[in-house]
Amino acid sequence: MEITTEAVKELRDKTGISVMECKKALTEAGGDMEKAMEVLKTRSAAMVAKKSDRELAAGTVASYIHNAGQVGSMVVLCSETDFVSKNPEFEALARDIAMHVAAMRTESVEALVSETFIKDPSKTIAELLAGATQKFGERVEVSKISCLAVH
């Protein structure tokens, strides 16, 4: 089966993963979009395991204030290099995770990674981070979180 550029573009738009990886996944899945997403998910898990011992030498701190100033959070999202940590998509990911922490009032990193992501209930935070590792080609990890609330 021939893989169309439209199918590759659609998969890339859904995942944010490189065009070549999307094309390989679609080829392996015989053009089936859902199977290709599963292929990418499997590859993502393998990539996370492979990169798990790499040093996290860079990162960003993101904050979020929610509910008219009644709840706030801070998140430290780490990467291997400042090239990735200064990427606007990486910074947006950190803000999204900070928003999640404020909304869910999460108290620990251990609890955070097992939670369902508030903006996309089809993913856990761990899966979101695994996707970021695959997308950026570097280990991506939340190292610290803090949530404060008036009540």
Region of 69 (left: φ > 0; alpha: ψ -120 to 50; beta: rest) is: left
- Fold of the domain spanning 5-51: Helicase, Ruva Protein; domain 3 (1.10.8)
According to the model, what pLDDT value does residue 81 have? 95
What is the rounded distance in angstroms from the CA atom of residue 135 to the CA atom of residue 130?
9
According to the model, what pLDDT value does residue 91 have? 98
**What are the tokens at 56?**
């996290």
What is the full DSSP assignment across 84-136? Answer: HHTSHHHHHHHHHHHHHHHHHT---HHHHHHSBPTT-TTSBHHHHHHHHHHHH
The predicted model scores a pTM of 0.76
What is the CATH code of the structural domain delimited by 58-149?
A: 3.30.479.20
- For 7, other C-beta atoms within 10 Å of its C-beta total 18
pLDDT by residue, tens only, the chain of 151 residues:
688 889 989 988 888 788 888 898 899 999 898 899 888 888 877 777 777 788 899 999 999 998 789 999 999 999 999 999 999 999 999 999 999 999 999 999 999 999 999 999 999 999 999 989 988 989 999 999 999 999 8
Domain locations along the chain:
5-51, 58-149
Query: How many residues does this entry show for the chain?
Result: 151
Instruction: Specify the 3-state DSSP secondary structure of 29.
Output: coil
